[in-house]
Amino acid sequence: MEWLGHASISFTNCATPLTLTKKDGTSTDLLSVCEESTPPCRLNPLLFNGHVQTMWTAIKNDGPPIFYKRKLFENEDPAYHGSFAVDFVVPTPSNTEVDDTLPIRTTYFTEEAFEGIGSLDSRPMLVVLHGLSGGSYEIYLKHVLAPLVAAEGDRQWEACVVNSRGCAMHKITSSILYNARATWDCRQTVKWLRKKFPNRPLFGAGFSLGANILTNYIGEEGAACELKSAVVCSNPWNLDTGSLALQRTWLGREIYSKTMGSNMKKLIERHHDEASKNPALDFDKIRNVKYLHEFDREVQGPTWGYPTEGAYYRDASSTDSLFAIRIPLFAINAKDDPIAVDEALPYEEVKQTPYAVLCTTSLGGHLSWFEIGGHRWHARPAVNFLNKMAFEIDIDHVVDSAKELPSKDHLSHARFHPMNRKWMNE
């Protein structure tokens, strides 16, 4: 039936998924919540495989009309100094302002308006991380945001998008951009939200590279994570495996890798004046780059001290972060994704943690999942999951199920520490 756009759906999970308690007192588990959140996957039959689905994202339209107010923050950690932009979803304004220096439907907060942003309400709030070189304007994330922020009454959500530095028409103020482990701006944003909105339960959503960053952040925070749960879509997971897969085929190399490499070259060129202050960067070499892995070799490696792009990919991958997460995580991937490839998905790792469920569809491409009419299917399970976690599950009393898992170590002095990464901020 796949030739009609009817994709098959599979779930990978731990044999003993995380036990959850509903607000009515009945018991359920993470797998059941994910399964109940996931409707049949019926995609546009004319977009019959992952390549066509993914390439269709080049056909741009506005998508759902989401309005934002932007606030620039300065990172408080001297190691990651510089500004970053957070776009807060706001109601449709009565008089539509336009700021040509910002993405569509985005304007800056006035100082007076931002001073009064704090609230003691208990609405759920979603923190969103976008994909490589994208931003808050991306259609794939607006399809998730739209039904949440448009809900009525007590089921209405608040939301914000943490833009990666230099993306979404943000002008960087230091030579520090971002990478696949760039959790610092997300971390500061979550801490700020926790203080400014003390009663709001916070949730996370990440897409593509943003999904990788979000998963790493959740793993780094462990049991102290301020997010109640999260959903990640089209996470590339194992970046080294994904990069090699892109280089293996003509389409992967000449279409996807070249396009992503070109986008990143344009991004760093836009910020040449600040980025060139980094003495480790050679812009002559960067301008000769063709593919994404070459960009990472010439930019991410020298910037963060990785000897090769492979060392960077292995260190920044989010697969092992699964072992450190302590909040419910719902991961959604398409098996025919030509970028976040099937061979890079963490099937075995998910089986070893009660905190994650991996949903895979046989069709869908990369951040695509186009249905007839243009709606994106991934938004349906993502929105359903977030609503269930916010309104049906007693998310404040989740038991640490990882403590109950039997240890596989037979040496008392030997332990695997998933977040002991090679790159350290010294």
Could you read off the pLDDT of 179-205 as tens digits, one per residue? 999 999 999 999 999 999 999 999 999
Q: Of the residues 29, 240, 320, 337, which is catalytic?
A: 337
Confidence of residue 97 (pLDDT cuts 50, 70, 90): confident
Is 412 annotated in the active site?
Answer: no
Mean pLDDT for the chain overall? 94
Tokens matching residue 13: 């999970």
Is 8 annotated in the active site?
Answer: no
Amino acid occupying residue 198: P
- The pLDDT tens digits of the residues spanning 239-253 come to 999 999 999 999 999
- Decide which of 419 and 421 is more confident: 419
Is 337 annotated in the active site?
Answer: yes
Query: CB within 8 A of 212, min separation 6: which ones?
Result: 180, 206, 235, 236, 237, 239, 316, 317, 318
Confidence of residue 298 (pLDDT cuts 50, 70, 90): very high
Q: Taking 70 as the threshold, does the pLDDT of residue 401 lie above it? A: no
CA dist 376 and 374 (Å) reads 6
Q: Give ∠ CA 161-165-169 in degrees, rounded to 5.
A: 80
CB atoms closer than 10 angstroms to residue 67: 18
Angstrom CA distances, 206 to 160, 214, 230, 313, 379, stand at: 12, 6, 8, 18, 12
Burial class (CB in 10 A: 0-12, 13-18, 19+), 210: buried
Q: How do the residues of the chain divide into helix, strand and coil, expressed in percent and rounded to 5?
A: 40, 15, 45
Query: CB within 8 A of 414, min separation 6: which ones?
Result: none
Confidence (pTM): 0.95
Burial class (CB in 10 A: 0-12, 13-18, 19+), 181: buried
What pLDDT, on a 0 to 100 scale, did the predictor assign at position 37?
98
Phi-psi map region of 220: left, alpha, beta (phi>0 left; psi -120 to 50 alpha): alpha
Q: Taking 90 as the threshold, does the pLDDT of residue 355 lie above it? A: yes
Q: Taking 80 as the threshold, does the pLDDT of residue 296 lie above it? A: yes
State the DSSP H helix or E strand holding residue 348, giving kind and residue range, or none if neither.
helix 347-350
Q: Of the residues 133, 136, 208, 318, which is catalytic?
A: 208
Q: Give ∠ CA 98-102-108 in degrees, rounded to 5.
A: 75
- The pLDDT tens digits of the residues spanning 105-135 come to 999 999 999 999 999 999 999 999 999 999 9
Q: Of the residues 130, 143, 366, 378, which is catalytic?
A: 366
Please list the residues that pair with 22 across neighbouring strands. 393
Please list the residues that pair with 12 across neighbouring strands. 358
